[in-house]
Amino acid sequence: MSTIEQALTFSPRTPLSVERPKYWSDLANIEYVVRVTLRSPYVHAKQVVNNTSLFMTEKLFDPEDPQMPAIYVPCITGNSLRHAFRFALFTLTGRLLGADGAALESLAEPALHYLLAGGNMGKGTATLDVAGYREICRLFPWVSLFGGGLGQDILPGKLDASFGYLCCEENVWRIAKLSSAMGDYAAQCHPANDYLERLVLTKPDPRRSALAPHLMRPEEYEAFDATRNRSAKENEESGEDDPRALAFYQAIASGARFVWTVGGSFLTPMEHSMIICGLYTMAHYHRLGAKRGSGHGVVDLDVVGATGDIKPVQEMMATVDRQEELNDRIRQEWATPYVDHVRTNAAEILDILAKVKDPAKKQGKKGNAAEESGPESEPQDAEE
Amino acid sequence: MQPLQITAHLIGAFSSHHPIALDSLIADRWAKAHDYPPAALEERIPPHAEMPLLLHPLGMHHASEAHLIIQGHETIHWARKSWDVRMLALFGKSARVKADGRYKAYYMPLRRTIPAGMLLTWWCVGDAAEIAWLLSTVAYLGHKRSSGHGRVGTWSVEPWPEDWSLLRPGDDGALIPTRPLPPELAPAGWMSLRTCRRTYPYYRQDGAELLAVPPAPEILAEEW
């Protein structure tokens, strides 16, 4: 038993100077600090008031001065970033599983949900033994990283994604606790409201294009043509949406920066590798938030810091000057285990996924197709 | 083992409908460090004697619930969307998106608490180094942790001159509980009661009993 004379103050996932417990394993506690730089306006809706979509905000008090009124600071929720991260990793995994995609096209939709959502390992009353769970986690490491379901129970995952904190005057004290370098940067930034802008988007109406008469059925086009000169009020009275409506969005302007952290506790090397793969795939696709199709949410993602007991990363950060070089080295050294794993075991993974059938097709019933299936369920013949 | 005060300096609001107990937090981390499987598969309760906390003869540890003063609340919403066309297109599927049953889209409210000074405080009697190591793996507290709620900026573990893990002096000098206590340990006439277990896992209802519990946190400003 050890005692202390002075206070120990430490950040989460940092190795401590005091004696480690004897049972402490080699599993890694690690967190990456990611700088998200906006290259186009970022849209992340909180709610819609009238026809304006407001940007997501977080309520904040100044911890040093509790008498100050609350402020609302724009943020990107961890839920949103986690979704983007998961989608990026799923995309990568999908491509690794089937080089030409042909093998994947034969999979049932529930199998894709299984891949994406972390997986549900059985029916509502299913049970799974620990050995089975560990085997699935070995083959599908994303089950242990993202979590999954077993009947009515939840299997927690290990991935933790923080909110994206806007680099602004109000957030300096918060960001400084995540990364001192980014804290210094945030100290030079403007108040949060300066980064908000208002976008006006129009709702396109394909029926008004020159091609519409050729592409639409004649009776459909004639019906539209008879109403094309109606006023907005007439449209409203007729119950149709006005195709000429404007939509207003609050967005964070280009050039603003967010700080985001992603990591986990007690990660295996494979799970750690997955996080790296997810980060770099996300950086490759580089569009986040809403309205991506119209060019919003283009971001640069850079790993600017790492805390935890992954010494190579810290050593790398101490020796590498350029950000691009650091990014390359992290990717080369840590991203390969997961890529190799999926490529090596692709046949086995696809074999298990192929057993997940879509009962909706077989029984012709509507509803949740995956409800009755799972990798543990008996293989069903799609031809039946 | 020594009396300790443990403080979490948060950098964001947390969501929790129940008090955050230190012993359950440490037991959870201890289980993770020992590679216990998820509780849904096999519920293995970390042995009480193995915890780095002093075990009381009445079956609970010398570890308090979180003490805080509430600065305010906020309700935000989290969304869960069904998988979109991009995902299906990637695998050559049609654009039909299944959005019912398990894949139903959600738009759920989440009530979050903002503590005054962004501080949560616990008291315990235990092994400081081991507790610090276990807490160093905790980056988020409360509900919806993996989505960034309840982010901890720094932890502080410091020696404390008195043992406040079960009872502590209130503002008027009278003793008040800092964790659920059986009647024989509760201050005479204590009227703040709750039906709960006296030790972890607190989510289970078997073995629940009527216990004396700490008073509800003081609320500085209630804003919606």
DSSP for A86-152, written as a single string: HHHHHHHHHHHH-SSSHHHHTS-HHHHHHHHH--B-S-TT----HHHHHHHHHH-HHHHHH-EEETT
Q: The complex's ipTM?
A: 0.90
A143-191 residue pLDDT tens: 888 887 766 677 888 999 999 999 999 999 999 999 989 999 999 999 9
Using CA coordinates, name the residue in chain B closest to A97. Answer: B91
Structure confidence at residue B101 as a pLDDT band (50, 70, 90):
low
Q: Which residue from B77, B90, B102 is facing A91, i.e. has the nearest CB? A: B90
With the C-alpha atoms ordered B190, B194, B196, B200, is the resulting torsion angle positive or negative? negative
Q: Does A53 touch chain B (CB under 8 A)?
A: no
On average, the pLDDT of chain B sits at 88
Q: What is the per-residue pLDDT for A319?
A: 63
Distance CA A304, CA A35 (A): 6
Share of chain A above pLDDT 90, in %: 23
Closest CA to A174 of A62, A286, A315, A292: A62
pTM: 0.85
Distance CA A92, CA A141 (A): 14
* CA A127 vs CA A124, A131, A371, B40: distances in Å: 9, 12, 15, 9
Q: Does A126 touch chain B (CB under 8 A)?
A: no
Q: What is the per-residue pLDDT for B25?
A: 95
Q: What token pair was written down for A335?
A: 């991203």
Using CA coordinates, name the residue in chain B closest to A358. Answer: B98
Contacts of A258 (CB under 8 A, 6+ apart): A35, A36, A38, A76, A164, A165, A166, A167
On average, the pLDDT of chain A sits at 78
Distance CA A136, CA A264 (A): 20
Closest CA to A72 of A60, A62, A64, A63: A60
Phi, psi of A10, rounded to the nearest 5 degrees: -150, 155
Distance of CA A372 to the CA centre of its chain: 27
Distance CA A186, CA A257 (A): 9
Question: Given a cut of 80, is residue B134 above it in pLDDT?
Answer: yes
Distance CA A128, CA A67 (A): 53
B32-62 residue pLDDT tens: 999 888 887 888 899 999 999 999 999 999 9
E strand intervals along B52-170 = 70-80, 106-115, 119-126, 152-159, 167-169
Q: What is the per-residue pLDDT for B165?
A: 94
Structure confidence at residue A356 as a pLDDT band (50, 70, 90):
low
Distance CA B24, CA B69 (A): 21
Question: Given a cut of 90, is residue B21 above it in pLDDT?
Answer: yes
Distance CA A368, CA A174 (A): 43
Question: Given a cut of 70, is residue A380 above it in pLDDT?
Answer: no
Distance CA A326, CA A300 (A): 15
8 Å CB contact of B83 and A104: no
Q: What is the per-residue pLDDT for B13?
A: 95
A 10 A CB-CB count for A155 gives 24
Q: What is the per-residue pLDDT for B127?
A: 94
| Furthest-apart CA atoms within chain B: distance in Å | 71
8 Å CB contact of B133 and A7: no
8 Å CB contact of B92 and A101: yes
